[in-house]
Amino acid sequence: MDKIHIPVLLKESIDSLDIKADGFYIDCTLGDGGHSFEIFKKLNSKGLLLSIDQDQYAIDFVKDYYKDSLKENWRIEKNNFSKISELAKSLNRTPDGILMDLGLSSRQLEYSHNRGFSYQEENEPLDMRMDEQLGVKAKDLLVALPEKELARLFLTYGEERYAKRIASVIKKHIADINTVGDLTRLVYRVVPAAHQSSKNPSRRVFQALRIVVNDELNSLKLGLENSFKILNKRGRISVITFHSLEDRIVKDFFHNQVDSGSGVLLYKDVLAPTDEEIRENPRSASAKLRTLIKN
């Protein structure tokens, strides 16, 4: 398998962790393994890396792609990073640094294994589960939620200005919506042409559905709280966000720790990709890196 995902803010995020060769580090979102492998290369035999992902396809890919590099001190676990406390406790070490990259990988978008993460894969079903053991699919939400609740979902989690119109047309045509293409074509019909940019107008609807299906924002809140609790004194937590909802959660959490005297910010402002990185990897354009040091 070819490795297709380009890790966002790779040098900046690794530098932000100030990695010690014999330290313990956790990558909360393994993805294609780009960030994890860079951390692992900086560790000696006494160092330890724990990489977490709830997507079994990502784990299988990394174990195959990095099979010649994997050693006992690179542990990979299938789980949601909200359970980070339990996973770290089982290893009997406290982490010196924790990294969260909250974006979807290119592999999840381009090789989604029929889960419909991308609005460009018209023939895929409306699933959107990172972990296929989760019970509720995106299509289930469209069917089960009343129009008013569906509109609230699009507005709250997608910040979609035409949420009411979109919810209304979805409920009217729900019997005809089975695939990604069925949904995107409806959204195109509803969103006025004047407000359709070069990006697909259904991207906010897909974001909202994916967030709710995977309970992403609640997982992030729990993950941040649990990560900071288990972090060593002077340990660092670095988070890469890609949209305003998750970035607001991270920003508020970090500033609350600073205000309480529990932590300090490594950077006064966020770190963003350079123009060169954005040219090489357009998907990095909205990324923001924040780092908190525990007092």
> In the chain, where does the domain assigned CATH 1.10.150.170 lie?
135-213
Question: Under CATH, which number does the domain 135-213 receive?
Answer: 1.10.150.170
Structure tokens at 201: 């107008």
**Rounded-to-integer distance, Cα 41 and Cα 69, Å:** 9
Neighbours of 175 (CB within 10 A): 7
**pLDDT-based confidence at 267, cuts 50/70/90?**
very high
Burial environment of residue 39 by CB neighbours within 10 A (0 to 12, 13 to 18, 19 or more):
buried
What is the per-residue pLDDT across 35-46, written as a single tens digit (0 to 9) for each? 999 999 999 999
Distances in Å between the Cα of 108 and the Cα atoms of 112, 113, 129, 147, 214 are 5, 8, 11, 29, 14
Q: What is the arrangement of strands in the sheet containing 263-265, beginning at the earlier edge strand?
A: 74-78, 48-53, 24-27, 97-101, 236-241, 288-294, 263-265
Q: What are phi and psi of 33, to 5 degrees?
A: 90, 5
Whole-prediction pTM: 0.91
> In the chain, where does the domain assigned CATH 3.40.50.150 lie?
10-108+220-294
**Rounded-to-integer distance, Cα 156 and Cα 148, Å:** 12
Using the predicted structure, report yes or no on whether residue 192 has a pLDDT greater than 90. Answer: no
Q: Select 10-108+220-294's CATH number: 3.60.150.10, 3.40.1170.10, 3.40.50.150, 3.90.730.10.
A: 3.40.50.150
Between 115 and 181, residue with greater pLDDT:
181
What is the per-residue pLDDT across 159-178, written as a single tens digit (0 to 9) for each? 999 999 999 999 999 999 99
**pLDDT-based confidence at 196, cuts 50/70/90?**
low
**Angle made by CA atoms 208, 212, 216, in degrees to the nearest 5:** 100
Using the predicted structure, report yes or no on whether residue 199 has a pLDDT greater than 80. Answer: no
Q: What are phi and psi of 152, to 5 degrees?
A: -60, -40
**Rounded-to-integer distance, Cα 210 and Cα 137, Å:** 9
